[in-house]
Amino acid sequence: MFDPGFIRLLTESVGEEKARIVLDALGRDPSVSVRLNPSKLTEVPFPDAERVPWSPYGWLLPERPSFTMDPLFHAGCYYVQDSSAMFVGELFRRTFVPEGRPVVLDLCAAPGGKTTDLAASLRAMCGDGFTLLANEVMKARFRVLRENVATWGDSRVAVLSRDPSAFPDRPVFDAIVADVPCSGEGMFRKDDRAVEEWSAQTVAFCAARQRRILSDIWPSLKEGGLLVYSTCTFNREENDGNVGWICEELGAEVLDPGDICGVTRTQRGYALLPGLVPGEGQYAAALRKTAPAGRSGKGDPVLELGATFPAAAAPAGPEIDVDLPTALQYLHGDAVRLPADAPKGLLTVCYRGHALGPAKNLGTRANNLYPKEKRIRKDIR
């Protein structure tokens, strides 16, 4: 099933015993987990859910429900995210010390899981006093990122699509989270193509590309600033090896926040391995930039980079709460009948107090203004 080179590199990276556990786990079904949006929801809406050990907002589910048929999902009340990927947010929370009004960059942000986790963390730390830039260079993936950020609904999160080489060559960011493109060993249970496309050459190519990305973005990080480096792969070339390269070539020191919820410690970071923890796998390390800063970092990177705030738009008119069948009809794109006391004109359709989108109430019926690209396509009956 797996390339012998993968098994060999996995064993060299995590040891023979852990490698056996990982290989056994990769033959099982993937886990399911969600992370609540604390600005919208405080109680998990799924029965028998268990807390993710390293996330104050994360919950493991015993089985996969139909998220598509849950209006709370469409309202941004929670985000479906692999539990091990949530560790990046926890490492950020444990190592980032905000000063003033911090500006943080999520460099490789699509589809938005880590962005929304960072947004919740920064809001808890700073209130409205922060700016989070979520960047994705691939245009198709950027559209998904923009939609997910808008649905999450934090007005301090801006989105942009730039190559790392296009960022300022001066220090403007207090922290950068770089979940860099990788060989994707943590996707093996969810994507057969990831297994088929793996090769030692791919690992070497990814490791080199990661170093290029980090070299390009490094001047934008302030001296003393935080870098959280992460991948969804297991091998040491893309993980500890590249963290060592960052320290030696770019100028940084590894931060050690101590043991975290039984996660495997590596030489320079943390490895979340399937079978040892819930989730599909993640590597993360935290570093402080020690290299001297360049020229002055004054200026607004939001304006300079042309970023936009997709969640900043105000709701459309009065908010009208509807029941579950009506909410699903609305999300499906159907004409809906609103409550008799709903005012005529432009309004916001809500479910359990959470906004879904706009509609124009004509009295006998309402014109559905929910964006076509977001509508439920499956049969809702």
Annotated domain spans of the chain: 83-305, 319-374
pLDDT in tens, 121-137: 999 999 999 999 999 99
| Predicted local distance difference test score (pLDDT) of residue 313 | 66
Mean pLDDT of 168-183: 96
**Stated pTM of the model:** 0.96
Q: How confident is the model at residue 314 (pLDDT cuts 50, 70, 90)?
A: low
- Render 179-198 in DSSP notation, one character per residue: E-----GGGTTT-HHHHHH-
Among 139, 138, 144, CA closest to 113: 144
Taking residues 345-351, what's their average pLDDT?
96
Reported as a single tens digit per residue, the pLDDT across 254-272 is 999 999 998 999 999 999 9
Would you call 310 exposed, middle or buried from its count of C-beta atoms within 10 A (0-12, 13-18, 19+)? buried
pLDDT value, residue 355: 96
Strand 252-254 vs strand 282-289: parallel, antiparallel, or unpaired? antiparallel
Residue 174 in this model has a pLDDT that exceeds 70:
yes
CATH of span 319-374: 2.30.130
The answer to whether residue 1 scores a pLDDT higher than 80 is no
In whole angstroms, what separates CA 56 from the centre of its chain?
15
pLDDT of residue 364: 83
pLDDT digits (tens, 9 = 90+) for 28-50: 999 999 999 999 999 999 999 99
Q: What does the alpha-carbon distance between residue 303 and residue 301 come to, in Å, rounded to a whole number? A: 5
Residue 176's Cβ-side half-sphere holds a number of Cα atoms within 13 Å equal to 29
Q: Identify residue 193 by its one-letter amino acid code.
A: R
% pLDDT > 90, the chain: 90
Instruction: Say whether 108 is catalytic.
Output: no
Which amino acid is it at 99? Answer: E
Type of residue found at 179? D
Please tell me the number of Cα atoms within 13 Å of 318 on its side-chain side.
Answer: 12
| Six-digit token string for 23 | 């290989």
Find the mean pLDDT for residues 216-225. Answer: 96
Judge whether residue 11 has pLDDT over 70: yes
Closest CA to 277 of 7, 15, 33: 33
Q: Is the pLDDT of residue 337 over 70?
A: yes
Backbone angles phi, psi at 240, to 5 degrees: -55, -35
- The H or E element that residue 41 is part of is none
- Between CA 232 and CA 227 the distance in angstroms is 17
Where does the pLDDT of residue 191 fall: very low under 50, low under 70, confident under 90, or very high at 90 and above? Answer: confident
Query: 52 vs 14, 101, 367, CA distance in Å?
Result: 23, 30, 41
Q: Which of 140-154, 319-333, 361-375 has the lowest mean pLDDT?
A: 361-375
Residues 6+ positions from 247 with CB-CB distance below 8 Å: 253, 254, 268, 287
Contact 256, 287 (CB under 8 A): no
Across the beta sheet with 319-322, the strand order is: 319-322, 345-351, 354-361, 366-368
Does pLDDT of 296 surpass 70?
A: no
Domain 83-305 part of CATH 2.30.130.10 = no
Confidence at residue 365, expressed as pLDDT on a 0 to 100 scale: 85
Candidate list 77, 126, 232, 350, residue with the active-site label: 232
